[in-house]
A and B are shown apart, each in its own frame.
Chain A
Amino acid sequence: NAGVTQTPKFQVLKTGQSMTLQCAQDMNHNSMYWYRQDPGMGLRLIYYSASEGTTDKGEVPNGYNVSRLNKREFSLRLESAAPSQTSVYFCASRNYEQFFGPGTRLTVL
Protein backbone atom coordinates (compact mmCIF):
# COMPACT_ATOMS: atom_id res chain seq x y z
CA ASN A 1 0.00 0.00 0.00
CA ALA A 2 1.68 3.19 -1.22
CA GLY A 3 -1.10 5.46 0.11
CA VAL A 4 -1.09 8.77 -1.77
CA THR A 5 1.69 9.36 -4.28
CA GLN A 6 2.57 12.59 -6.05
CA THR A 7 4.88 13.42 -8.93
CA PRO A 8 7.08 15.31 -9.36
CA LYS A 9 8.60 16.05 -5.95
CA PHE A 10 10.25 19.26 -7.13
CA GLN A 11 9.70 21.49 -10.17
CA VAL A 12 11.00 24.84 -11.39
CA LEU A 13 9.03 26.62 -14.09
CA LYS A 14 9.37 29.88 -15.94
CA THR A 15 6.46 32.31 -15.98
CA GLY A 16 3.97 31.27 -18.65
CA GLN A 17 4.96 27.60 -18.79
CA SER A 18 2.41 24.89 -18.15
CA MET A 19 2.62 21.69 -16.19
CA THR A 20 0.51 18.95 -14.65
CA LEU A 21 0.93 17.64 -11.12
CA GLN A 22 -0.01 14.00 -10.81
CA CYS A 23 -1.64 12.33 -7.82
CA ALA A 24 -2.74 8.75 -7.26
CA GLN A 25 -4.16 6.85 -4.29
CA ASP A 26 -4.54 3.11 -3.79
CA MET A 27 -6.94 3.18 -0.83
CA ASN A 28 -10.15 3.12 -2.89
CA HIS A 29 -11.25 6.50 -1.52
CA ASN A 30 -14.01 8.42 -3.26
CA SER A 31 -12.89 11.92 -2.27
CA MET A 32 -9.65 13.55 -3.38
CA TYR A 33 -8.28 17.04 -2.80
CA TRP A 34 -5.60 19.48 -3.95
CA TYR A 35 -4.18 22.01 -1.47
CA ARG A 36 -1.48 24.60 -1.61
CA GLN A 37 0.59 25.55 1.40
CA ASP A 38 2.31 28.91 1.75
CA PRO A 39 4.26 30.12 4.80
CA GLY A 40 1.89 31.38 7.50
CA MET A 41 -1.19 30.58 5.39
CA GLY A 42 -1.93 27.02 6.40
CA LEU A 43 -3.46 24.70 3.81
CA ARG A 44 -5.80 26.24 1.26
CA LEU A 45 -8.08 24.08 -0.84
CA ILE A 46 -7.70 24.55 -4.60
CA TYR A 47 -10.09 21.91 -6.00
CA TYR A 48 -11.67 18.73 -4.79
CA SER A 49 -13.47 15.74 -6.19
CA ALA A 50 -16.14 14.08 -4.10
CA SER A 51 -16.34 11.11 -6.45
CA GLU A 52 -15.12 9.89 -9.80
CA GLY A 53 -16.44 12.18 -12.54
CA THR A 54 -17.09 15.21 -10.32
CA THR A 55 -14.89 18.17 -9.44
CA ASP A 56 -15.59 21.36 -7.49
CA LYS A 57 -13.77 24.59 -6.79
CA GLY A 58 -12.23 25.20 -3.42
CA GLU A 59 -11.02 28.39 -1.82
CA VAL A 60 -8.31 29.35 -4.37
CA PRO A 61 -9.12 27.79 -7.80
CA ASN A 62 -8.01 30.63 -10.10
CA GLY A 63 -5.16 29.66 -12.42
CA TYR A 64 -5.71 25.92 -11.96
CA ASN A 65 -7.66 23.12 -13.60
CA VAL A 66 -8.17 19.55 -12.46
CA SER A 67 -9.08 16.19 -13.92
CA ARG A 68 -10.41 13.20 -12.02
CA LEU A 69 -9.17 10.64 -14.49
CA ASN A 70 -10.57 7.64 -12.59
CA LYS A 71 -11.12 6.71 -8.97
CA ARG A 72 -7.37 6.49 -8.32
CA GLU A 73 -6.03 9.57 -10.07
CA PHE A 74 -6.61 13.30 -9.64
CA SER A 75 -4.35 15.70 -11.54
CA LEU A 76 -3.80 19.44 -11.17
CA ARG A 77 -2.84 21.57 -14.17
CA LEU A 78 -1.28 24.99 -14.30
CA GLU A 79 -1.94 26.33 -17.80
CA SER A 80 0.23 29.46 -17.56
CA ALA A 81 2.32 29.49 -14.41
CA ALA A 82 2.79 32.72 -12.45
CA PRO A 83 5.25 33.54 -9.63
CA SER A 84 2.26 33.74 -7.25
CA GLN A 85 1.81 30.01 -7.77
CA THR A 86 5.16 29.25 -6.13
CA SER A 87 4.11 26.97 -3.30
CA VAL A 88 4.06 23.47 -1.93
CA TYR A 89 1.18 21.45 -3.37
CA PHE A 90 -0.38 18.57 -1.49
CA CYS A 91 -2.81 16.02 -2.80
CA ALA A 92 -5.00 14.17 -0.32
CA SER A 93 -7.65 11.49 -0.31
CA ARG A 94 -10.24 10.87 2.36
CA ASN A 95 -12.11 8.14 4.04
CA TYR A 96 -12.60 9.00 7.72
CA GLU A 97 -9.42 11.06 7.86
CA GLN A 98 -7.44 12.74 5.13
CA PHE A 99 -4.28 11.06 3.89
CA PHE A 100 -1.77 13.40 2.32
CA GLY A 101 0.82 12.78 -0.34
CA PRO A 102 4.45 13.88 0.16
CA GLY A 103 3.95 17.16 -1.71
CA THR A 104 5.33 18.88 -4.78
CA ARG A 105 7.58 21.89 -4.23
CA LEU A 106 6.98 24.23 -7.16
CA THR A 107 8.95 27.38 -7.93
CA VAL A 108 7.86 29.74 -10.70
CA LEU A 109 10.53 32.20 -11.81
Chain B
Amino acid sequence: GQQVMQIPQYQHVQEGEDFTTYCNSSTTLSNIQWYKQRPGGHPVFLIQLVKSGEVKKQKRLTFQFGEAKKNSSLHITATQTTDVGTYFCAGRKSSGDKLTFGTGTRLAVRP
Protein backbone atom coordinates (compact mmCIF):
# COMPACT_ATOMS: atom_id res chain seq x y z
CA GLY B 1 0.00 0.00 0.00
CA GLN B 2 0.87 3.64 -0.14
CA GLN B 3 3.51 4.80 2.33
CA VAL B 4 4.39 8.33 3.34
CA MET B 5 7.60 8.86 5.29
CA GLN B 6 8.82 12.01 6.97
CA ILE B 7 12.30 12.99 8.11
CA PRO B 8 13.53 13.86 10.58
CA GLN B 9 11.37 12.25 13.27
CA TYR B 10 12.43 14.88 15.77
CA GLN B 11 14.32 18.16 15.68
CA HIS B 12 15.37 20.46 18.46
CA VAL B 13 16.37 23.98 17.40
CA GLN B 14 17.37 27.25 19.03
CA GLU B 15 14.75 29.96 18.68
CA GLY B 16 15.57 31.95 15.57
CA GLU B 17 17.08 29.02 13.67
CA ASP B 18 15.44 27.62 10.56
CA PHE B 19 13.70 24.24 10.39
CA THR B 20 12.82 21.93 7.50
CA THR B 21 10.85 18.69 7.38
CA TYR B 22 10.74 16.44 4.34
CA CYS B 23 7.95 14.17 3.19
CA ASN B 24 8.36 11.30 0.70
CA SER B 25 5.64 9.15 -0.83
CA SER B 26 6.08 5.71 -2.37
CA THR B 27 3.52 6.66 -5.05
CA THR B 28 2.67 9.73 -7.11
CA LEU B 29 0.19 11.97 -5.34
CA SER B 30 -2.77 13.96 -6.58
CA ASN B 31 -2.26 16.48 -3.81
CA ILE B 32 -0.59 16.85 -0.47
CA GLN B 33 -1.73 18.55 2.70
CA TRP B 34 0.16 19.69 5.77
CA TYR B 35 -1.13 19.67 9.34
CA LYS B 36 0.22 20.92 12.66
CA GLN B 37 -0.52 19.28 15.99
CA ARG B 38 0.33 21.15 19.17
CA PRO B 39 1.29 19.02 22.21
CA GLY B 40 -1.88 17.51 23.65
CA GLY B 41 -3.98 18.84 20.79
CA HIS B 42 -5.44 17.63 17.54
CA PRO B 43 -4.10 18.06 13.99
CA VAL B 44 -5.02 21.35 12.35
CA PHE B 45 -4.92 21.93 8.60
CA LEU B 46 -2.22 24.30 7.32
CA ILE B 47 -2.23 24.09 3.53
CA GLN B 48 -2.83 21.99 0.42
CA LEU B 49 -0.52 21.74 -2.60
CA VAL B 50 -1.82 20.41 -5.91
CA LYS B 51 0.46 21.36 -8.80
CA SER B 52 3.83 19.89 -9.65
CA GLY B 53 6.59 22.20 -8.37
CA GLU B 54 4.11 24.36 -6.47
CA VAL B 55 5.45 26.66 -3.75
CA LYS B 56 3.20 28.39 -1.21
CA LYS B 57 4.07 30.69 1.64
CA GLN B 58 2.31 31.48 4.89
CA LYS B 59 4.29 34.15 6.74
CA ARG B 60 7.45 32.31 7.92
CA LEU B 61 6.32 28.93 6.54
CA THR B 62 7.20 27.82 2.98
CA PHE B 63 5.66 24.69 1.49
CA GLN B 64 6.90 22.99 -1.65
CA PHE B 65 5.54 20.14 -3.78
CA GLY B 66 8.11 18.23 -5.81
CA GLU B 67 8.18 18.14 -9.61
CA ALA B 68 7.36 14.42 -9.63
CA LYS B 69 4.57 14.94 -7.05
CA LYS B 70 6.10 12.32 -4.78
CA ASN B 71 7.76 14.57 -2.22
CA SER B 72 7.14 17.75 -0.33
CA SER B 73 8.82 19.96 2.23
CA LEU B 74 7.91 22.48 4.89
CA HIS B 75 10.48 25.13 5.82
CA ILE B 76 10.10 27.46 8.77
CA THR B 77 12.28 30.56 8.82
CA ALA B 78 13.44 31.95 12.18
CA THR B 79 11.53 29.57 14.42
CA GLN B 80 9.58 30.83 17.39
CA THR B 81 8.38 28.99 20.51
CA THR B 82 4.88 29.09 19.07
CA ASP B 83 6.08 26.78 16.26
CA VAL B 84 6.46 23.88 18.71
CA GLY B 85 4.46 20.81 17.74
CA THR B 86 4.36 17.90 15.33
CA TYR B 87 4.06 18.57 11.62
CA PHE B 88 2.38 15.97 9.43
CA CYS B 89 2.16 15.72 5.71
CA ALA B 90 -0.75 13.78 4.24
CA GLY B 91 -1.05 12.63 0.65
CA ARG B 92 -3.90 11.59 -1.58
CA LYS B 93 -3.45 9.39 -4.68
CA SER B 94 -6.56 10.75 -6.36
CA SER B 95 -8.99 13.54 -5.59
CA GLY B 96 -11.62 11.29 -4.03
CA ASP B 97 -9.23 9.03 -2.18
CA LYS B 98 -8.54 8.95 1.54
CA LEU B 99 -5.50 10.70 3.00
CA THR B 100 -2.42 8.78 4.03
CA PHE B 101 -0.59 10.57 6.82
CA GLY B 102 3.15 10.72 7.18
CA THR B 103 4.89 9.69 10.36
CA GLY B 104 5.31 13.29 11.50
CA THR B 105 8.22 15.49 12.57
CA ARG B 106 8.23 16.76 16.12
CA LEU B 107 9.74 20.23 16.51
CA ALA B 108 11.07 21.51 19.82
CA VAL B 109 12.30 25.11 20.14
CA ARG B 110 14.72 26.30 22.82
CA PRO B 111 13.91 29.88 23.88
Contacts and interface: CB of A to CB of B under 8 A. Distances in A.
Interface of A: 33, 35, 40-45, 48, 50, 58-59, 90, 96-103
Contacts of A50: 96
A98 B45 contact: yes
Chain B: interface size category: 20 to 34
Interface of B: 1, 6, 9, 33, 35, 41-45, 48, 88, 90, 96, 98-104
Nearest to A6: B42
A41 B88 CA distance: 11
Given A40-B9, A42-B88, A59-B1, A100 B42 contact: yes
Contact of B99 (A98, A101, A102): A98
B98 A42 contact: no
Contacts, number: 44
A102 B42 CA distance: 6
9 contacts: A33-B98, A42-B101, A43-B43, A43-B90, A45-B99, A59-B1, A96-B48, A100-B42, A102-B42
Contacts of B103: 40-42
Listed from nearest, the 7 A-B pairs whose CB atoms lie closest are A97-B45, A100-B42, A43-B101, A42-B103, A42-B104, A42-B101, A100-B43
B7 to A, nearest CB: 13
Given A40-B9, A42-B103, A43-B88, A101 B42 contact: yes
A83 B42 CA distance: 23
Contacts of B99: 45, 98
A41 B42 CA distance: 15
Contacts of A100: 42-44
A24 to B, nearest CB: 15
Interface centre among A35, A43, A45, A101 (most CB of B within 10 A): A43
